Amino acid sequence: MSRAYNFNAGPAVLPVEVLEQARDEMVDFNKSGMSIIEHSHRGKEYDAVHQEAAANIRKLLNLTDEYAVLFLQGGASLQFAMVPMNLLGAGQTADYVNSGAWASKAVKEAKLIGSVNVSANTEKDIPTKLPRIEDLKLTKGAAYVHITSNETIAGTQWKKFPVTEAPLVADMSSDMLSRSFDAKQFGLIYAGAQKNLGPAGVALVIIRKDLAERVSEKVPTMLKYKTHIEENSLYNTPPCFSIYIMMLVTRWVQKMGVANLYKQNVDKAAKIYSAVDNSGGFYKGTAVREFRSDMNITFRLPSEPLEETFVKEASKLGMKGLKGHRSVGGIRASVYNAFPLEGINALVAFMADFQKKNG
Ligand code: PMP
Would you list the DSSP string of 86-142? HH--TT-EEEEEE-SHHHHHHHHHHHHHSEEEEEEE-TT-SSB----GGG--PPTT-
Residue 285 belongs to what H/E stretch?
A: strand 284-285
CB 224 within 8 A of CB 212: yes
Per DSSP bridges, beta strands 203-208 and 67-72 are antiparallel
Helices (H) and strands (E) in the chain, counts: 9, 14
Q: What is the pLDDT of residue 14?
A: 98
Q: What is the pLDDT of residue 293?
A: 98
Q: What is the pLDDT of residue 1?
A: 67
Is 354 close to ligand 1, i.e. is its CB under 6 Å away?
no
Is 76 close to ligand 1, i.e. is its CB under 6 Å away?
yes
Average pLDDT over residues 178-205: 98
Average pLDDT over residues 51-77: 98
- CA proximity to 120, closest of 103, 142, 144, 140: 103
Please identify every residue annotated as catalytic.
Answer: 102, 171, 195
Average pLDDT over residues 58-74: 98
What's the pLDDT band for 333 if we cut at 50, 70, 90? very high
170 has pLDDT over 90: yes
What's the pLDDT band for 132 if we cut at 50, 70, 90? very high
Percent of the chain with pLDDT over 70: 100
**pLDDT tens-digit map of 283-293:** 999 999 999 99
**Top mutation candidate among 152, 176, 196 for ligand 1, by most atoms within 8 Å of CB:** 152
Average pLDDT over residues 145-149: 98
Amino acid type, 121: N
Nearest residue (by CA) to ligand 1, atom 9, is 76
Query: Which atom of ligand 1 lies at the shortest distance from residue 10's CA?
Result: 8
- 339 burial (CB, 10 Å; 0-12 / 13-18 / 19+) is buried
Is 148 close to ligand 1, i.e. is its CB under 6 Å away?
yes
**pLDDT tens-digit map of 28-59:** 999 999 999 999 999 999 999 999 999 999 99
Answer CATH for 257-358 from 3.30.2350.10, 3.40.50.2300, 3.90.1150.10, 1.10.1200.10: 3.90.1150.10
DSSP 321: -
- Residue ranges per structural domain of the chain: 16-256, 257-358
Its sign, for the CA torsion 306, 101, 277, 135, is positive
Q: What is the pLDDT of residue 231?
A: 98
Is 10 close to ligand 1, i.e. is its CB under 6 Å away?
yes
| 337: CB partners within 8 A, 6+ apart | 15, 177, 178, 196, 253, 256, 261, 265
**pLDDT tens-digit map of 305-315:** 999 999 999 99
Q: What is the pLDDT of residue 44?
A: 97
Nearest residue (by CA) to ligand 1, atom 14, is 75
Q: How far is the CA of 72 from the centre of ligand 1 (A)?
A: 14
Is 73 close to ligand 1, i.e. is its CB under 6 Å away?
no
Average pLDDT, the chain: 98
Query: Which atom of ligand 1 lies at the shortest distance from residue 148's CA?
Result: 3
Q: What is the pLDDT of residue 2?
A: 87
**Top mutation candidate among 71, 108, 148, 173 for ligand 1, by most atoms within 8 Å of CB:** 173
CATH class of the domain at 16-256: alpha beta
Query: Which atom of ligand 1 lies at the shortest distance from residue 149's CA?
Result: 3
CA contacts within 13 A on the Cβ side of 348: 17
CB 282 within 8 A of CB 301: yes
Query: Which atom of ligand 1 lies at the shortest distance from residue 194's CA?
Result: 15
Average pLDDT over residues 224-253: 98
